[in-house]
Amino acid sequence: MVKRAGGSLLLSIKIDRSSPQPVSTQLCVALREMILEGGFHAGERLPASRTLARELGLSRTTIIEVFDRLVAEGLVESHTGSGTFVSKVLGTSRPRPARPDVSSVVRIAPRLSRLMAQAVTRFGDRQRLPHLPRAFTTALPAFDVFPMAQWARLSAKYLRGARDEIMGYGDPNGSPQLRRALATHLRANRGIVCDPDQLFIVGGAQQAFHLIGSTLLNPGEKVWFENPGAIGARNSLIASGADLVPVPVDAQGLCVDEGLRLSPQFRLAFVTPSHQQPLGCVMSLERRFALLHAAEQAGAWVIEDDYDGEFFFGGRTPPTLKSVDTTGLVIYVGTFSKSLFPSLRLGYLLAPPALVDTFTAIMSKFLQGVPSQTQGVVAEFIDEGHFSAHVRRMRHVYLERHEALLDAARRRLSGLLDVQPTHSGLHTIGHLHASISEMAVARDADHRQVTASPVGRFSLAPVAINALVLGFGGVSPQLIDAGAQVLAEVLENRLAATAPRKSRPRATVV
């Protein structure tokens, strides 16, 4: 039997045999935590490997392997013939408290910079929705169809490269191979002609927005921002201290006339022309030229966020704004979060010629780029042709899922939710009955493990749209169908709950 106080602690170790983490690693993590948190006295003898193996139902080899690891870390000492002991250097013989006593820690409110304190208030307290691969989570690509075997092969190949290249600091502007590959890809697929030197590889589109905001905006300067619009970009620009002007969006995209009426002077405009986030419309050519003209008149930069425009399935590809830009004011931002997967944290910024030196200086002076390994694998993935094949394949997958959603909506949501077809991307919207609160539906749906994002979450100022944003790209057709059924039930319940309340005031009037 395991006897001592520390010994009985050992019996509380739970090993999960269904976990992908090896049993030996689970035990090592648990023992390490117990030792560091003072579960054993310094110098205390650990139970013999044979005893521990029996008590925990593990092999003795596993226990010996784990003890060896802890010896190598200096947490335990092994004395031949007498056993394994917790290292004496770990403190006095008094056990330390399992967790620091937070009640004794003096709490000092952190003093934020004025800029960040203001930004934090302006971010608002929008609930963060779970990024789980379930119906109808937005912003996730289809993980189930990703060619993981190719990816693993390229990762291994990368690591077999020359150590000088794979281990040192890379080019702060981004891997030259990736920037070359991207320039070619943008020319072939997005109609954009650029020099690789104009491309800067960053930690996701989000970092690009932050970089642009902090580089080009002074606190208080006006930024035209689509309303409703992209949440992450909005927060980055708010963090730079800019004054965001909510410009309405209609079926043709950003209402440029409204922008001019609200704020003829502006320093920057943010748009998602290929697939408006969140409404899903494509910005008309007329609006694009009107925006470029307005930007030229005001001397403003324009951020084009082309986050999922590669996935068009409604006829001809809409051109990018950058491809028709003759002003040199458009800063194009792309991401691999949709075209590959978001955990890469990889995006890029295409600077107009006038900004190349500025961003080059910034990247080399205080940012040192993003992980070379990720860039190296992505570059090879593009160069070997897997990227364009993957994007082509995903267009079909997303088209199928888009159709699955429209079909499920026809069968299950008729009269409850008016789901709009879209031309591209991984999400669309569904309009709700005016009497139903989008926030309430989102809450009810969440309780039933379905995500339905209210358009209000994307709004900087109130909008006259009562709708849910529905992601379909990362959701299998089966889950789409089951999710539509849940939404139908949630909406029926809500309608039933609102109907009597609506009729009651009328009855009183009569």
Least distance to ligand PLP from the beta carbon of 346, Å?
Answer: 7
Least distance to ligand PLP from the beta carbon of 272, Å?
Answer: 6
Least distance to ligand PLP from the beta carbon of 205, Å?
Answer: 3
By C-beta, is 23 or 291 nearer to ligand PLP? 291
Structure tokens at 389: 């094949």
- Say if residue 295 is exposed, middle or buried (CB neighbours under 10 Å; 0-12, 13-18, 19+): buried
3-state SS assignment for residue 202: strand
Please tell me the distance from the alpha carbon of residue 285 to that of residue 318, in angstroms, as a whole number: 9
Candidate ranges 202-210, 417-425, 433-441, 453-461; the one touching ligand PLP (CB under 6 A)? 202-210
Residue 424 sits in the site that holds ligand PLP (CB under 6 A): no
By C-beta, is 309 or 352 nearer to ligand PLP? 309
Q: Kindly report the CA angle at 364 between 299 and 242, in degrees rounded to 5?
A: 35
By C-beta, is 63 or 344 nearer to ligand PLP? 344
Site for ligand PLP (CB under 6 A): which residue of 24, 49, 87, 272?
272
By C-beta, is 87 or 276 nearer to ligand PLP? 276
Site for ligand PLP (CB under 6 A): which residue of 206, 235, 240, 451?
206
Residue 422 sits in the site that holds ligand PLP (CB under 6 A): no
Amino acid residing at 345: R
Residue 337 sits in the site that holds ligand PLP (CB under 6 A): yes
The dihedral over CA atoms of 132, 136, 137, 142, expressed in degrees to the nearest 10, equals 80
Q: What own/partner pairs with CB < 8 Å and gap ≥ 24 does 477-482 have?
A: 477/400, 477/401, 477/404, 479/134, 479/135, 480/135, 480/136, 480/401, 480/404, 480/405, 480/408, 481/404, 481/408, 481/412, 482/135
Binding mask 289-318 for ligand PLP (x = CB under 6 A): ----------------x-x-----------
Candidate ranges 203-211, 318-326, 393-401, 414-422; the one touching ligand PLP (CB under 6 A)? 203-211
Number of residues counted as binding ligand PLP (CB under 6 A): 14
By C-beta, is 322 or 494 nearer to ligand PLP? 322
Residue 277 sits in the site that holds ligand PLP (CB under 6 A): yes
Question: Which residue from 216, 212, 183, 211 is spatially nearest to 197, judged by alpha carbons?
Answer: 183
* 447 CB neighbour count, 10 Å cutoff: 9
Per-residue CA distances from 400 to 267, 395, 475 (Å):
41, 9, 11
Those residues whose C-beta lies under 8 Å from the C-beta of residue 510, and which sit 6 or more positions away, are none
Least distance to ligand PLP from the beta carbon of 43, Å?
Answer: 50
Bond preceding residue 136 cis, omega within 30 of 0: yes
By C-beta, is 221 or 305 nearer to ligand PLP? 305
Candidate ranges 108-116, 216-224, 255-263, 335-343; the one touching ligand PLP (CB under 6 A)? 335-343
* 451 CB neighbour count, 10 Å cutoff: 22
Residue 371 sits in the site that holds ligand PLP (CB under 6 A): no
Structure tokens at 94: 């008094």
Site for ligand PLP (CB under 6 A): which residue of 39, 204, 456, 474?
204
**Would you tell me which residues interact with ligand PLP (CB under 6 A)?**
139, 204-206, 230, 232, 272, 277, 305, 307, 335, 337, 342, 347
